Chains A and B, each alone.
Chain A
Amino acid sequence: MKLNKKLIAVALGAAFLSAPLHAGASEKELKARMDKMAAELEELKAALKASMQKTAELEARQQQIVAAESNNASASTAAATAAATSAATATATSVATNVATTVATDVATARAETARSASGTILSGYGEINYNRPTKNASAAQTDIRRAVIAIEHRFDEKTKMVSEFEWEHGVVSASDQGESEIEQLYIERELNNGLRGKVGLFLIPSGLLNTNHEPTAYYGVERNFVETAIIPSTWREVGVGLSGDTAFGLTWDTGITTGFDLGKWDATSTEGRDSPLGSIHQEGQLAKSRDLAFHGALNWRGVPGLLLGGSVFSGKAGHNTEGFAANDARVTLYDLHARYTPGAWDLSALYARGQISNTEALNATFVGNPTPVPKSFAGWYTQAAYQLLKSGDYTLSPFVRYEQFNTAKSYAYVPQGLGVETGPDEKVTTVGANLKVGEGVVLKADYQKFKEDKSRDRLNLGMGFAY
């Protein structure tokens, strides 16, 4: 043991003695290195000073922008500013100019995002141009600017926004042209204190899958499907008040009281009522008779990702106690059930809709002999399957097939002496085609539609649509 201690002492002593020698040998080196480090440090200090100056300038500008565009998304703005400053201070290794440019880019991004979220006005819109060619009658081929829509959404503050949508149909609107210009939506939405959302104005009725989601990029096929145009009269909007909210397990509910239909507008001599019963008597907020209001309710469950199950009901009288009108007791009811499932690349949907108009006996008696009396019931359903087949860059090709069956006059109220109109068979339409999405907002479509009953309507369709 004693020997060990002695050995260690000698070893340590030797080490100590040799150290200064070692040190002495690289003292010059060390000094040189220290000088170099000192110089580098001075450089870094200067760079840091410069970058901090730049950051201060940008920060000041950022504050100005934030002040001008005001309030809400303080979280993101503050974070962005904090990021900018913290980035400047943290990057001792970055070159000052590099930092400055990237901070500027970041500020620009933050500003763009701030613009979106603060109070402000957003312009959006959509359009579709369609070509239809009946296969058995080329002379009836037609190209039409089906719709051009501009939507302006203005957010007053965190809780209040105004939604408006203006539409032009068929290219040219004038007294001697066939186009139409209309207000499709015009309402205020306010988030209430308990998280519910209230609406007042002209808004879309939450019925079916298409009505509230009707941009050309949102559905398959050039033309909107028949069930949701002939039975559910998309684009269906009414004036009134609405309340909606969602629950924790994925259920969204939507209810309200609005204007309804005007059965006094029914024209038994024209075919409009046969094309779409409710479409021929809708009021759309145009000097709308409002003695009889209607209520609606919709439930949509999205508890399982990729699955939507839902339904809606709408009901209101349509006579408005009009003087000398035989159907003041008539009530219009429309209900629908729908489902949509999108596992992987598939997009499957199904919908059933049924409408009823009650108390039409006396009115239909006055229409005897005319081709289009008021139906008692009208209904339709469809199933559709689409598959995202190819995705290359921002091109996405999705072929689809849809089968729909509908009847705009499934039954009539009793007319004596057999003077009523016979009901006809359901029309059955098969549509096969594809949507080619270009990026997020543009879609090119092509499809072929085959009609079981009226074969003269078989047609090829091509379309272009966009939404932004």
Chain B
Amino acid sequence: MRYQPLLALSACALCAPAFATQYLSAEQAQQLMFPDATAFRPQPLALNAAQMQQIEKLSGLPARSVNWRVVGAFKGDALLGYMVLDDVTGKFELISYAVGLNPDATVKQVEVLTYRESHGGEIRLPAWRRQFVGKSAAGGGLTVGEGIANISGATLSCTHLTDGVRRIAAIGQVMLKK
């Protein structure tokens, strides 16, 4: 199931709509985030202790992993931005998602790749994901209740995903920002 422009979605709102749980692949996500890109190069990150501390200070969350899956998007030789892939747990199940970062470490886009919980699927809604756009770890506004609205009935999924985006924004700020 591909993500369609909102207009098309409203048009087929009447039909059995649905998002399946395996919803986007990483390749599809990077295309959505950087439609102008001509090349995608994997640029995995490994954090050292000092960097992890910085990230923790910036995001208020432990850095959690040393290694991060990052893909750089390039148009020719120009860097368009990065896409970071990650997984968080919702209430019980894993949520796979991707955060697109601009070169200045602000959030460009958030995409949900896999969502398997019975409730809280609304985190896939464009309107909810749009809340992250343009924000950075330093700038704030990436916490539920402080810039990101909760989804009634799916507080844990919301919170964990928001925390994940905030952590990635902090990683971007520390590791990727030019």
Contacts and interface: CB of A to CB of B under 8 A. Distances in A.
A303 B18 contact: no
A184 to B, nearest CB: 15
B68 interface: yes
A113 B10 contact: no
Interface stretch (A57-65, A247-255, A327-335): A247-255
Interface string B1-22: 1001000011011001111111
B68 A75 contact: no
B29 to A, nearest CB: 11
A194 interface: yes
A76 B94 contact: yes
Interface residues of A, number: 63
A66 to B, nearest CB: 14
A73 interface: yes
B6 to A, nearest CB: 8
A132 B64 CA distance: 42
A194 B66 contact: no
A458 to B, nearest CB: 30
Contacts of B119: 212
A302 B145 contact: no
Given A247-B13, A250-B127, A117 B93 contact: yes
Nearest to A309: B152
B16 A245 contact: yes
Given A76-B87, A245-B17, A252 B122 contact: yes
A158 B38 CA distance: 34
Contact of B114 (A73, A83, A344): A73
A191 B145 contact: no
Nearest to B95: A117
20 contacts: A86-B44, A87-B46, A87-B66, A91-B46, A94-B48, A103-B66, A113-B89, A122-B92, A213-B152, A245-B18, A246-B18, A248-B13, A248-B17, A252-B122, A302-B125, A302-B151, A306-B151, A345-B145, A345-B146, A347-B150
Interface of A: 73, 75-76, 79-80, 82-84, 86-87, 90-91, 94, 99, 102-103, 105-106, 109, 113, 116-117, 122, 124, 153, 155, 158-159, 163, 189, 191, 194-197, 209, 212-213, 218, 245-252, 300, 302-308, 340, 342-345, 347, 388, 440
Q: Which 5 A-B pairs have the closest CB atoms?
A: A195-B18, A306-B149, A117-B94, A248-B9, A305-B149
Given A76-B96, A84-B67, A247-B17, 5 more contacts: A91-B46, A196-B18, A308-B153, A342-B149, A342-B152
